[in-house]
Structure 1
């Protein structure tokens, strides 16, 4: 399957109220060789007020975003949708796209009267290079150089990560330049940490996640909170009764016999405690999963030392 790497530049960070001003995407083959690219801009919607910080980051002026020669938002989204459908089926990938760009893309499609779930329906899958890099920094730390900020805390911002790993990123925060940087980082992980890359592709689809969970009696879930990694060794319990696209998994740091001895009220209190003793794995959100055998010796202590985490 081919890949579609994409990025947006927007009027701000609100996925509910802000607007896409620039959309860029590059289609590649399975070996990450470019096949085609697009870059589109539109003018500001009359009811949207751009955030000054967003304009500063992207280098856009009021004159530029109100340029009457640019297509309107509806015209741009029609063209974006047409091209993405032409490139489908594919795996749609961005950098922090699952929490930001994809939400804005869905909102924009919905507001222009189109089906919003383009990236994960009709044979399409989705993934995100940010969680890939975060997981790779734990399972194959030699594959990628991660910038360090205050107190030596890991920094995963693309405009810092890409230059440190050999990509000239003078045009950071231009959508097309960010797409090129994302592909470069993806190649770094693919070439230097093939197991991480294989799992990344496998878990881009709901079927891939479901197949893995069905085969494993226990596995590792990796989640990042405020750029800090947390690893949970879990056993699958079954599907979430409230969400068919999620599995409930028991955190194996807890004693199963003790849990079984709890009464109903104590059980409810325990399940709702923090950190969550029952983890939820969303099968359609490209989770970071790994077999227990993939845990490297660089992890602190043994598996039991990797089980604590936030809610």
Structure 2
């Protein structure tokens, strides 16, 4: 199966409200030989204001964004084409499962593309940062982990590459192709330095393999990384009845007597604790650092005899009342979460119904002058209606009825110029942040000073345009 190493650079760090601006894909054979590289750049949609910090970190100028060859819709369409044409593949990024993948998923959602395209049948997803953290814990001699400015281990891509002899030129850092190339080089290093652990982790990129581990082992070793690595002996208990990717496990360093008699309310409170817990869920679809005990158990700190761990696991499994109560609690987990009023944040509220999946494909095929009427009359999902309306207003506003066009103008002006705190970046919020960045900037750093000034001018021009729309 081919491996596709990829990276995106974004307008900010919000997983719902920021969007990708650059994407790079390195298509490799299954033995990591490069076959081709693809680089794409997109412009901002008119309703998105980028984070000033993101622009400075990635050295992205207003001119670079405005001159990008693809509109945001065309850009996401091109990414969707890369994904669909690849067929079954292993999609591999650095911190991708917690960031890049979520940003891309939101971009697909908001442009009426299949949301879970990288999880098509036969495909798997791997995260090189997860693999580096696991290998550093399991085989610390295989990877040099650098320390940050306060003396703690850091897994930032650039620093980790440098510590292991992988050259990532400073000018290529936070460039999608440069980061993708560095990710591929680090992936090759991990494969060579720790082949057995590497192979196990690559198997865990497939959720089916993870489920097999959980279903067929009494005791497993799970490495967690919250600032520092820690490997626990865990006992698989039960899969969540409402989320088939969440599998409850017990930390076997905790005596089960502490919780086996708890009622459902007490178990719910136990699961809600932040930080280490006696019982928690493992996400089977995000390449967990899960190993058979014979391999991973070697790095458990101050372990009990394995026989004691197995005895505790059997006590848990055989307590059918406890398992039933835990299953009931898992079935209600997050059910009281308040729904968001913002359509971007409703991505996980419901799957897109199959008829609307077909309607979305059709929406992309028809002419612009038909798209507004089609979306509002045929598509049922209110979230998709909103996104379709935004895209038509951006690309072909003349095809909308005058009243709706006026309503969209008012929406855009309010969205970008409001001084009320919003979950997305607004122009007033961006101006305040730019003022902070300018005040903290070293005057001798002429390039950064000019970059900030250019962004200020860019937002000034946007404000003038928006004010003219309201006249």
Q: What TM-score, normalized by structure 1, do the two folds share? A: 0.91
Summarize deviations over 1:238-258 as a string: whole Å, max 9, x none: 211231222111111222345
Query: Quick one: distance in 2 between partners of 1:231 and 1:182?
Result: 25
Partners of 1:270 and 1:10 lie apart in 2 by 37
Question: How much has 1:100 moved relative to structure 2?
Answer: 0.7
Matching of residue 158 in structure 1 with residue 157 in structure 2? yes
Question: Is residue 32 of structure 2 the alignment partner of residue 32 of structure 1?
Answer: yes
**Is 1:278 aligned with 2:286?**
no
Compute the displacement of 1:151 (Å): 4.2
Residues 1:173 and 1:94: Cα distance change in structure 2 (over 3 Å) = same
Q: Which protein has the bigger helix share?
A: 2
Give the CA deviation at 1:232. 2.1
Equivalent position SS for 2:174: coil
Map residues 70-81 of structure 1 onto 2, 5 A cutoff: 70-81=69-80
SS in structure 2 opposite 1:221? strand
Find the counterpart in structure 2 of residue 181 from structure 1: 182
- What are the within-5 Å matches in structure 2 for residues 61-210 of structure 1? 61-67=61-67, 70-170=69-169, 171-210=172-211
Match of 2:220 in 1: 219
1:254 has 2:276 as partner: no
- Give, in whole Å, the separation in 2 of the partners of 1:47 and 1:266: 45
8 Å contact from structure 2 (residues 125, 286) kept in 1: yes
Q: Give the 3-state SS of the residue equivalent to 1:14 in structure 2.
A: coil
Per the TM alignment, residue 266 of structure 1 is displaced from its structure 2 partner at its CA by: 5.1
CA 1:117–1:265: 2 relative to 1, 3 Å: closer
Deviation readout 1:60-100 (Å, 9 max, x if unpaired): 11111112x62101111111111221112101110011111
Q: Shift of residue 152 of structure 1?
A: 2.5
Indicate yes or no: 2:229 matched with 1:229: yes
> Larger C-alpha radius of gyration, 1 or 2?
2
Q: Is the 8 A contact 2:233 2:300 kept in 1?
A: no
Are 1:162 and 1:169, in contact at CA under 8 Å, matched by a contact in 2? yes
Say if 1:145 and 1:164, in contact at 8 Å, map to a contact too.
yes
Q: Do the aligned residues in 2 keep the contact of 1:240 with 1:247 (CA within 8 Å)?
A: yes
In structure 2, what is the Cα distance between the partners aligned to 1:107 and 1:263? Answer: 38
For 2:93 and 2:159, locate their aligned partners in 1 and report how far apart those are by CA, in whole Å. Answer: 16
Q: CA deviation at 1:273?
A: 4.8
Equivalent residue runs for 1:31-50 within 5 Å: 31-50=31-50
Between the aligned partners of 1:61 and 1:290, the Cα distance in structure 2 is 45
Contact 2:245/2:284 (<8 A) preserved: yes
| Equivalent residues of 1:23, 1:175 under 8 A apart | yes
Q: Which runs of 5+ in 2 are unaligned?
A: 310-471
SS in 2 for 1:243: coil
Asked if 1 retains the 8 angstrom alpha-carbon contact of 2:9 and 2:58, the reply is: yes
Post-superposition CA distance 1:156-197 (Å, at most 9, x none): 000111122122111111100100100111111111111221
Query: What SS does structure 1 have at the residue aligned with 2:22?
Result: strand
Structure 1 residue runs of 5 or longer lacking an equivalent are none
| CA pair 266-172 structure 1, distance change in 2 beyond 3 A | closer
Aligned pairs (5 A) from 1:230-245? 230-245=230-245
Contact 2:271/2:280, CA 8 A, preserved across alignment = no
Q: CA deviation at 1:38?
A: 0.3
Distance in 2, matches of 1:90 and 1:42, equals: 24
State the Cα RMSD in Å. 2.0
CA distance in 2, matches of 1:220, 1:147: 25
Alpha-carbon distance in structure 1 between the residues aligned to 2:54 and 2:104: 17
Q: Write the distance in 2 (CA, Å) between the matches of 1:10 and 1:181.
A: 18
User: Structure 1 residues 21, 261: CA separation in 2 closer, same or farther (over 3 Å shift)?
Assistant: closer
Q: Give the direction of change, closer, same or farther, for the CA distance of 1:296–1:205 in structure 2 (3 Å limit).
A: closer
Indicate yes or no: 2:9 matched with 1:9.
Answer: yes
Say which SS state the counterpart of residue 23 (structure 1) adopts: strand
Query: Are the structure 2 counterparts of residues 172 and 270 from structure 1 closer, same or farther at C-alpha, using a change threshold of 3 Å?
Result: closer
CA distance in 2, matches of 1:223, 1:148: 19
How many Å separate the matches in 2 of 1:264 and 1:47? 45
